[in-house]
Amino acid sequence: MTKILLLLANGFEAVEASVFTDVLGWNKWEGDGSTEVVTVGLHNELQCTWNFTVTPEKLLHEVNLEDFDALAIPGGFEEAGFYEDAFSDAFQQVIRHFDDRKKPIATICVASLALGHSGILHNREATTYNHPTSKRLEQLQSYGAIIVNERIVKTEHVITSSNPGTAFEVAFLLLEMLTSVENTAKVKNLMGFH
C-alpha cells in the first residue's frame, strides 16, 4: 500500500485538500487499490479557510514519517492563519524529510510557499498563486525559486501549482507519479474527467 501524508495547516482550503482524498480514495476503491491517504495536522481541530472545522486522523507527533511514500499539502489563506502552521518548524521538518528522500511532494496554490520557506525550492523551478493582483510569485522568488508562470510546474519529485483551479490536475498528477498513466486514466474516466 502506498501511503500519502495529507498535511493540513490551520486555515487550509477545504477544496484543495478534498481533491487528494477523493482522487486517491477513488483509486483505492476503483483504481489499482494501492493508495491510502492519512490526514495529519498540528492540532486536534483545524479551522478551514471558510469556517468549518476538520478533525485530522492523526497529529503530526503521532506518525512516523518513514511510513509514508508521498506528501500532499493544500494551500490556504493568510487571513485564516495558514502560514502560522505552514511556516512552523514542525511543518518545515516534514517537507525537508520528504525532499531529502526524493519522495513525491504535491502542493496546490500557496502551499508552495511552505516549500519555499523550507529551502527546498532554492534553484528549482516552481510556481504559486499567480493572479496579477497577488504578491505571492515575488514571495516565492525571494526564497530562491526559479519562477515558471505555468498552471502546474513539476520539477523532479515536486509539484507546485498556480491556483485552486489546478487542484484536480495536481491530484491526478500525483496519482500518476504513484501508480501509472494507464491507471490514472482509468480513475479519471470513472470520475467523469475526459
- 46-47 vs 158-161, strand pairing mode: unpaired
Q: What is the mean pLDDT of the chain?
A: 97
DSSP of 123-171, one letter per residue? TSEE-----TT--HHHHHHHTT-EE--SSEEEETTEEEESSGGGHHHHH
Q: Is residue 16 a contact partner of residue 164, using CB atoms and an 8 Å limit?
A: yes
Where do we find the cell 493568510?
78
Determine the average pLDDT of the residues in 132-157: 97
Q: Is the pTM of this model over 0.75?
A: yes
What confidence tier does 194 reach under pLDDT thresholds 50, 70, 90? confident
